[in-house]
Amino acid sequence: MSDLAERMVDAAKTLEEASAHYGYPFPLHVHWSADDLRHEAPRVAEEEREAAEREAAIEEIARTIFSRMFPIAHPEDNPITMDVYRKIAAEILDIGYRKD
């Protein structure tokens, strides 16, 4: 489980403990219940996993483009060029996800 998802579950536990201690839902201004937090934690973890996979794919595509364009150069020495290729890679992935 991701760090954010774990913190959501911890927050749920804290809300339950405070509610038990004070005898009413605590704090009153919180719009999420402990159950809401527990329910959302797996979804958040899945979204973070998908985002990490996408970032890894973008980096791999960008490095491939870079190595084809500049066979003897190193991506680490060309951060601006790599940023451009990362944007191109993101566009490539977005086009691949379209269902048109």
What are 82-92's pLDDT values in tens digits?
999 999 999 98
Distance CA 51, CA 42 (A): 14
Percent of the chain with pLDDT over 90: 40
- For the chain, which residues make up each domain, given as ranges? 3-97
Distance CA 49, CA 71 (A): 32
Q: Is residue 6 over pLDDT 90?
A: no
Residue predicted with more confidence, 8 or 47: 47
Distance CA 24, CA 38 (A): 19
Cβ count near 89 (within 10 Å): 23
Distance CA 71, CA 74 (A): 8
CA distances 44 to 37, 39, 52, 69, Å, are 10, 9, 12, 37
Distance CA 51, CA 58 (A): 10
CA torsion, points 96, 91, 62, 46, in degrees to nearest 10?
-70
